[in-house]
Amino acid sequence: MKLSITKSEFLRGLGRIQSIVEKRNSMPILANVLIEAPEKGKEAKLHLGATDLEVGIRSLHSANVSEPGGLTVSAKKLFEIIRELPDETIELSATANSYLKINCARSHFTLAGTAASEYPTLPEFSPEKTVPIPAAVLSEMIDRTIYAASVDETRYNLNGVYVEVLEDTGGIRFVATDGHRLACVDREIEGDASALASGVIVPRKGLGELKRLVDEDVDEEIELAFANNSGFARRGDVTLVMRLIEGEFPNYNQVIPKNLTRHLTLPTEPLVHAVRRVALLSSERSRAVKLELSDGQLVITSSNPDLGDAREELDIDYAGEPLAIGFNAKYLLDAINAVQSKEVLFSFQDELSPSKLSPPGDEKTIAVVMPMRI
C-alpha cells in the first residue's frame, strides 16, 4: 500500500473511531484501525474501519493511491501522531512485514502493525430500505433520552434506548428507563417511518456513536434502518453498524403518570443552580433533596448528619395544597437538563407518585422521576 492524503481528511476519519476501538486486552487487535486502499488512482478512496464486535464503523476518504493494499495499526497512536504533524500532505506506505511508514514534510514515523487479513470482519448490514431523518431531530431525541438508559449490565434489556414507530402519527418514539427515571420523546418525520423495524433496543454505546455522527453536521440527513437484530446509520461516506439488544423492553406506559393535579412552571437555570447547591450537603449515598411546595414558595433542602444542612428558597407561582416530595438530586438534574428549555413544567400528584417534567407546550417530550422517601 502506498498513498497520499490531506491531514485534515485523515485526522477526521481517525478521530471518529477513537471511542469505538476496544481498549481492553481480550482481543488486542480490536485496539487497531483497519486501513485499506483497494483501488489505485488519483481519486481513489482510503477505507478506515474499526469495531468492538458490537459496534462497527467504516468511512471512505479521498486519497491518491499509487499502490493498493492494507494493514492495521494502533488507532490511538496513529491518531496522536497525525494530530501533531504539520498541516501538509501525508504519505503512507506499508512494508512487507506490515509496518506503516508515515512521512509528512520533515517528519518521519514507522509504526508497527499487523496484516489486514488478521482483523475481525467488520459488521455487515445492507438494508433494503432506509429512512432519512434530519440529523438535528435525531440529535435532540438522543440527548433527551440516553441519560435515562441503565448502566447496570445485569438489566441488559434496559441498557439502551427503545425505538418505536407510532402507527397513528407515523412518527418515531425514543424511550429509556433505568427503573428510577424514564425519558420519552416523540417526533414526526417527513419520510415513511414504517420502513423501520419497530420495537428495537439500541445499545447505549451504539447510540453514543450515532450521536457523534449526527453532530458532525446537523444540517444533513441520516439514513437509518433496523432489521434482523442490526442497526444501520449512514451519512455520506460514513457507515455505522451496531448489534441491537435482544430482550423485551418493559411496558413503559404503566410508568408514565396520568391525570396529575398539581402543575408548576419554573425557570430552568435558577432551579438547576439551587438544586446543585443544596445537593452539596446531601447524603453521598442517596443524594436526596426535598422539595417543599407552599403558596408562592418552593423550598429545597438537604440534610446530612456528618456534614450539616442546606436550604434554598425560590419564589414561584403556586397556590395549591402544600406538598413535600424527595428526589435523588442527580436524577432530578438530569431530567431538568434533558428538557432543554428555558422553563420546565413540573407536574405532581403526591409525595409517593412519580413526577413528570416537560418543556411548557411540548407534551411529546417528557421525563419521569420516581420520588424518594425522606
Q: Which DSSP string do the residues of 178-202 spell out, in sequence order?
A: -SSEEEEEEE--SS-GGGSPSSEEE
Euclidean distance between the first and the last CA atom of the chain, given in angstroms as a whole number: 66
- Domain for residue 125, yes or no? no
- Domain for residue 352, yes or no? yes
What pLDDT is attached to residue 25?
65
**Boundary residue ending a domain (207, 222, 252):** 252
**Boundary residue ending a domain (118, 149, 182):** 118
Predicted TM-score of the model (pTM):
0.90
Same domain, 339 and 294: yes
Q: Which set of grid coordinates corresponds to residue 110?
A: 514507522
Same domain, 229 and 273: no
Same domain, 262 and 336: yes
pLDDT tens track, the chain, 374 positions: 999 999 999 999 999 999 999 777 678 999 999 999 999 999 999 999 999 989 999 999 999 999 999 999 999 999 999 999 999 999 999 999 999 999 999 999 999 999 999 999 877 777 778 899 999 999 999 999 999 999 998 889 999 999 999 888 888 999 999 999 999 999 998 877 877 878 899 999 999 999 999 999 888 999 999 888 889 999 999 999 999 999 999 999 998 998 888 899 999 999 999 999 999 999 888 899 999 999 999 999 999 988 999 999 999 988 888 999 999 999 999 999 998 899 999 999 999 999 999 999 998 999 999 999 87
Q: Which residues of 111-138 are buried (b: 16+ CB within 10 A; e: fewer)?
A: bebbebeebeebbebebeebbebbbbbb
Q: Which set of grid coordinates corresponds to residue 9?
A: 481528511
Same domain, 16 and 92: yes
Give the contacts of 240 (CB within 8 A, at least 6 positions apart).
Answer: 55, 56, 57, 206, 209, 210, 213, 231, 232, 233, 234
Same domain, 140 and 241: yes
What is the identity of the amino acid at 362?
Answer: D
Q: Where residue 315 sits, what CATH number does that domain have?
A: 3.10.150.10
Same domain, 54 and 95: yes
Please compute Rg for the chain using Cα positions.
Answer: 25
- Domain for residue 126, yes or no? no
- Domain for residue 124, yes or no? no
Going 237 to 238 to 240 to 241, the CA torsion angle's sign is positive
Q: How far apart are CA 4 and CA 91, in angstroms?
A: 4
- Domain for residue 303, yes or no? yes
- Domain for residue 123, yes or no? no
Same domain, 139 and 202: yes
What pLDDT is attached to residue 122?
79
For residues 206 and 25, the answer to whether their CB atoms sit within 8 Å is: no
**Boundary residue ending a domain (252, 268, 286):** 252
- Tally of residues, the chain: 374
Same domain, 306 and 237: no
Question: How many domains does one find in the chain?
Answer: 3
**Structural domain of residue 80, as residue ranges?**
2-118
What pLDDT is attached to residue 103?
97
Q: How far apart are CA 321 and CA 102, in angstroms?
A: 71
Q: At what angle do helices 135-143 and 204-215 cross, to 10 degrees?
A: 140
Q: Which set of grid coordinates corresponds to residue 235?
A: 451519512
Same domain, 201 and 165: yes
Same domain, 197 and 96: no
Same domain, 222 and 309: no
Q: What is the 3-state secondary structure (H, E, C) of 279-345?
A: HCCCCCCCCEEEEEEECCEEEEEEEECCCEEEEEEEECCCCCCCEEEEEEHHHHHHHHHHHCCCEEE
Same domain, 8 and 112: yes
